[in-house]
Amino acid sequence: MKYDRIDKALYIANRKNFTKQMAAGTLAVFNSNDIYPVSADSTLPFAQHRDILHLSGVDQEESILVLFPNASNAAHREVLFLKETSALIAIWEGEKLTKETAFETSGIQTVYWLGQFPTIFKQMMAEASGIYLNTNEHLRANTEVQTREDRFIEQVKKDYPAHQVYKSAPLMHKIRSIKHQIELELMQTACNITEAGVRRLLSFIKPGVWEYEIEAELAHEFLRKRSKGFAYTPIVASGKNACVLHYIENNQQCLDGDVLLLDVGAEYANYSSDLTRCIPVGGRFTARQKAVYNAVLHVKNEATKLLVPGTIMAEYHKQVGQLMEEQLVNLGLISTADIKNQDPAWPAYKKYFMHGTSHFLGLDTHDVGLWHEPIAANMVFTVEPGIYIPEEGLGIRLEDDVVVQPSGAPFNLMANIPIEAEEIETLMNA
The mean pLDDT of 246-260, rounded to a whole number, is 97
**Which residues have C-beta within 8 Å of that of residue 242, sequence separation ≥ 6?**
259, 260, 261, 278, 388, 394, 395, 396, 397
51-83 pLDDT, tens per residue? 999 999 999 999 999 999 999 999 999 999 999
CB 348 within 8 A of CB 334: yes
pLDDT computed for residue 86 by the predictor = 82
81-111 pLDDT, tens per residue? 999 988 888 888 888 999 999 999 999 999 9
pLDDT computed for residue 89 by the predictor = 82
CB 422 within 8 A of CB 363: no
CB 80 within 8 A of CB 15: no
Mean pLDDT estimate for the chain: 97
97-147 pLDDT, tens per residue? 999 999 999 999 999 999 999 999 999 999 999 999 999 999 888 888 999
The DSSP line for 213-251 is HHHHHHHHHHHHTT--SBSS--EEEEGGGGGSTT-----
Residue (of 383, 415, 361) closest to 178 by Cα position: 361
For 25, other C-beta atoms within 10 Å of its C-beta total: 14
Separation of alpha carbons 202 and 428, rounded Å: 5
pLDDT computed for residue 85 by the predictor = 85
* Structural domains in the chain plus CATH codes: 9-176 (3.40.350.10), 181-428 (3.90.230.10)
E-assigned strand segments in 101-145: 110-113, 130-133
φ/ψ bin of 301: left (φ > 0), alpha (ψ from -120 to 50), beta (otherwise): alpha
Q: State which amino acid sits at residue 149.
A: E
Q: Is 223 exposed, middle or buried (0-12, 13-18, 19+ CB in 10 A)?
A: middle
CB 214 within 8 A of CB 260: yes
| Helix (H/G/I), strand (E/B), else coil: 336 | helix
pLDDT computed for residue 92 by the predictor = 85
**Which residues have C-beta within 8 Å of that of residue 40, sequence separation ≥ 6?**
none
pLDDT computed for residue 219 by the predictor = 98
What percentage of residues in the chain have a pLDDT greater than 70?
100
264-318 pLDDT, tens per residue? 999 999 999 999 999 999 999 999 999 999 999 999 999 999 999 999 999 999 9
CB 82 within 8 A of CB 60: yes
What is the CB-side half-sphere exposure of residue 32 using CA atoms within 13 A? 20
Helix (H) or strand (E) run with residue 395 in it: strand 394-397
